[in-house]
Protein backbone atom coordinates (compact mmCIF):
# COMPACT_ATOMS: atom_id res chain seq x y z
CA UNK A 1 0.00 0.00 0.00
CA UNK A 2 1.16 3.47 -0.87
CA UNK A 3 1.45 6.11 1.81
CA UNK A 4 -1.63 8.35 2.11
CA UNK A 5 0.44 11.50 1.47
CA UNK A 6 1.67 10.04 -1.83
CA UNK A 7 -1.89 9.13 -2.85
CA UNK A 8 -3.10 12.65 -1.98
CA UNK A 9 -0.24 14.19 -4.00
CA UNK A 10 -1.10 12.04 -7.02
CA UNK A 11 -4.79 13.02 -6.78
CA UNK A 12 -3.81 16.70 -6.75
CA UNK A 13 -1.43 16.20 -9.67
CA UNK A 14 -4.08 14.41 -11.72
CA UNK A 15 -6.56 17.16 -10.93
CA UNK A 16 -4.06 19.63 -12.35
CA UNK A 17 -3.80 17.54 -15.52
CA UNK A 18 -7.59 17.38 -15.84
CA UNK A 19 -7.91 21.12 -15.35
CA UNK A 20 -5.13 21.81 -17.86
CA UNK A 21 -6.79 19.53 -20.44
CA UNK A 22 -10.15 21.17 -19.77
CA UNK A 23 -8.56 24.58 -20.27
CA UNK A 24 -7.04 23.49 -23.60
CA UNK A 25 -10.41 22.04 -24.65
CA UNK A 26 -12.24 25.26 -23.76
CA UNK A 27 -9.69 27.30 -25.71
CA UNK A 28 -10.33 25.09 -28.77
CA UNK A 29 -14.08 25.48 -28.29
CA UNK A 30 -13.66 29.26 -28.06
CA UNK A 31 -11.61 29.34 -31.27
CA UNK A 32 -14.09 27.04 -33.04
CA UNK A 33 -16.91 29.34 -31.94
CA UNK A 34 -15.07 32.54 -32.96
CA UNK A 35 -14.37 31.02 -36.39
CA UNK A 36 -18.02 29.87 -36.67
CA UNK A 37 -16.93 26.29 -37.33
CA UNK A 38 -20.36 25.13 -36.23
CA UNK A 39 -22.30 27.29 -38.74
CA UNK A 40 -23.11 24.69 -41.37
CA UNK A 41 -26.66 25.92 -41.88
CA UNK A 42 -28.13 23.10 -39.81
CA UNK A 43 -26.59 24.02 -36.45
CA UNK A 44 -27.84 27.02 -34.49
CA UNK A 45 -24.88 27.67 -32.22
CA UNK A 46 -21.64 26.31 -30.90
CA UNK A 47 -23.58 24.92 -27.91
CA UNK A 48 -25.90 23.02 -30.23
CA UNK A 49 -22.90 21.67 -32.14
CA UNK A 50 -21.28 20.51 -28.85
CA UNK A 51 -24.56 18.83 -27.94
CA UNK A 52 -24.81 17.11 -31.31
CA UNK A 53 -21.17 16.16 -31.94
CA UNK A 54 -19.77 15.72 -28.42
CA UNK A 55 -22.86 14.44 -26.63
CA UNK A 56 -22.80 17.22 -24.05
CA UNK A 57 -26.21 18.11 -22.60
CA UNK A 58 -27.44 21.34 -24.18
CA UNK A 59 -27.44 23.30 -20.90
CA UNK A 60 -23.88 22.22 -20.11
CA UNK A 61 -22.83 22.89 -23.71
CA UNK A 62 -24.21 26.42 -23.41
CA UNK A 63 -22.15 26.89 -20.26
CA UNK A 64 -19.02 25.63 -22.02
CA UNK A 65 -19.52 27.87 -25.06
CA UNK A 66 -20.51 30.81 -22.86
CA UNK A 67 -17.48 30.31 -20.61
CA UNK A 68 -15.17 30.30 -23.61
CA UNK A 69 -16.12 33.82 -24.66
CA UNK A 70 -13.01 35.90 -25.33
CA UNK A 71 -14.85 39.17 -24.55
CA UNK A 72 -15.49 38.18 -20.91
CA UNK A 73 -12.33 36.21 -20.16
CA UNK A 74 -10.17 39.11 -18.87
CA UNK A 75 -13.02 40.51 -16.77
CA UNK A 76 -13.83 37.14 -15.22
CA UNK A 77 -10.16 36.44 -14.52
CA UNK A 78 -9.85 39.83 -12.77
CA UNK A 79 -12.86 38.97 -10.58
CA UNK A 80 -11.40 35.55 -9.82
CA UNK A 81 -8.03 37.11 -8.89
CA UNK A 82 -9.47 39.80 -6.60
CA UNK A 83 -12.78 38.46 -5.33
CA UNK A 84 -13.57 35.89 -2.72
CA UNK A 85 -14.78 32.47 -3.81
CA UNK A 86 -18.24 33.35 -2.51
CA UNK A 87 -18.26 36.60 -4.51
CA UNK A 88 -17.20 34.81 -7.69
CA UNK A 89 -19.89 32.15 -7.21
CA UNK A 90 -22.59 34.81 -6.74
CA UNK A 91 -21.49 36.67 -9.86
CA UNK A 92 -21.35 33.49 -11.94
CA UNK A 93 -24.84 32.47 -10.76
CA UNK A 94 -26.22 35.91 -11.64
CA UNK A 95 -24.47 35.86 -15.01
CA UNK A 96 -25.87 32.42 -15.80
CA UNK A 97 -29.40 33.49 -14.82
CA UNK A 98 -29.14 36.44 -17.22
CA UNK A 99 -27.80 34.25 -19.99
CA UNK A 100 -30.50 31.62 -19.40
CA UNK A 101 -33.22 34.26 -19.45
CA UNK A 102 -31.82 35.65 -22.71
CA UNK A 103 -31.70 32.16 -24.22
CA UNK A 104 -35.27 31.39 -23.12
CA UNK A 105 -36.44 34.69 -24.54
CA UNK A 106 -34.78 33.96 -27.87
CA UNK A 107 -36.25 30.46 -27.95
CA UNK A 108 -39.71 31.82 -27.09
CA UNK A 109 -39.46 34.32 -29.96
CA UNK A 110 -38.48 31.51 -32.31
CA UNK A 111 -41.48 29.48 -31.17
CA UNK A 112 -43.84 32.43 -31.65
CA UNK A 113 -42.68 33.08 -35.22
CA UNK A 114 -42.47 29.48 -36.39
CA UNK A 115 -44.30 28.64 -39.58
CA UNK A 116 -44.32 26.11 -42.40
CA UNK A 117 -45.82 26.82 -45.80
CA UNK A 118 -45.59 24.76 -48.95
CA UNK A 119 -46.95 24.68 -52.45
CA UNK A 120 -46.27 22.82 -55.65
CA UNK A 121 -44.82 24.68 -58.61
CA UNK A 122 -46.21 24.32 -62.14
CA UNK A 123 -43.57 21.70 -62.90
CA UNK A 124 -44.65 19.60 -59.90
CA UNK A 125 -41.70 20.47 -57.69
CA UNK A 126 -42.28 21.26 -54.04
CA UNK A 127 -41.61 24.78 -52.82
CA UNK A 128 -41.15 24.75 -49.06
CA UNK A 129 -40.83 27.84 -46.89
CA UNK A 130 -40.41 27.50 -43.16
CA UNK A 131 -39.21 29.44 -40.16
CA UNK A 132 -38.41 27.10 -37.29
CA UNK A 133 -36.33 27.05 -34.15
CA UNK A 134 -32.88 25.76 -35.06
CA UNK A 135 -33.24 22.37 -33.39
CA UNK A 136 -36.52 21.65 -35.20
CA UNK A 137 -34.99 22.99 -38.41
CA UNK A 138 -32.01 20.67 -38.07
CA UNK A 139 -34.36 17.69 -37.62
CA UNK A 140 -36.37 18.75 -40.69
CA UNK A 141 -33.20 19.13 -42.76
CA UNK A 142 -32.02 15.67 -41.71
CA UNK A 143 -35.43 14.17 -42.56
CA UNK A 144 -35.33 15.88 -45.97
CA UNK A 145 -31.81 14.57 -46.60
CA UNK A 146 -32.95 11.04 -45.75
CA UNK A 147 -36.06 11.40 -47.93
CA UNK A 148 -33.99 12.62 -50.89
CA UNK A 149 -31.65 9.62 -50.50
CA UNK A 150 -34.67 7.32 -50.88
CA UNK A 151 -35.84 8.87 -54.16
CA UNK A 152 -34.24 7.06 -57.11
CA UNK A 153 -32.32 9.32 -59.47
CA UNK A 154 -34.26 10.41 -62.54
CA UNK A 155 -37.71 9.93 -61.00
CA UNK A 156 -40.19 12.70 -60.47
CA UNK A 157 -42.69 11.85 -57.76
CA UNK A 158 -46.10 13.45 -58.19
CA UNK A 159 -47.58 15.56 -55.43
CA UNK A 160 -50.41 14.09 -53.38
CA UNK A 161 -53.76 15.66 -54.18
Residues in contact with 52: Cβ distance below 8 Å, sequence separation at least 6, in sequence order: 43, 138
| Among 20, 21, 48, CA closest to 33 | 48
Would you kindly state where each structural domain of the chain is located, as residue ranges? 4-111, 115-150
- pLDDT at position 55 is 92
DSSP 79-116: HHHHS-HHHHHHHHHHHHHHHHHHHHHHHHHHHHT-EE
Contacts of residue 80, defined as CB under 8 A and 6 or more positions apart, other chains included, come to 88
Q: Quick one: pLDDT at residue 157? A: 55
N-terminal to C-terminal alpha carbon distance within the chain: 78
pLDDT in tens, the chain (161 residues): 999 999 999 999 999 899 889 889 988 998 999 899 998 877 888 988 999 899 998 888 887 887 666 666 777 778 777 878 788 788 778 877 777 777 777 777 777 788 889 999 999 888 989 888 777 888 888 888 888 888 777 665 555 55
Please state, as a whole number, how many other Cβ atoms lie within 10 Å of the Cβ of residue 62. Answer: 21
Residue 14: C-alpha distances to residues 19, 23, 118, 139, 145 (Å)? 9, 14, 57, 40, 45
Residue 93: what pLDDT? 80
Amino acid sequence: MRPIAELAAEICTLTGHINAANHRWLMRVAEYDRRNGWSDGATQSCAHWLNWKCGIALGAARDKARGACAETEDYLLMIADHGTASHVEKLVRAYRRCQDAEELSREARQQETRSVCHRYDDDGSLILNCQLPAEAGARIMRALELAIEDVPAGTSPRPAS
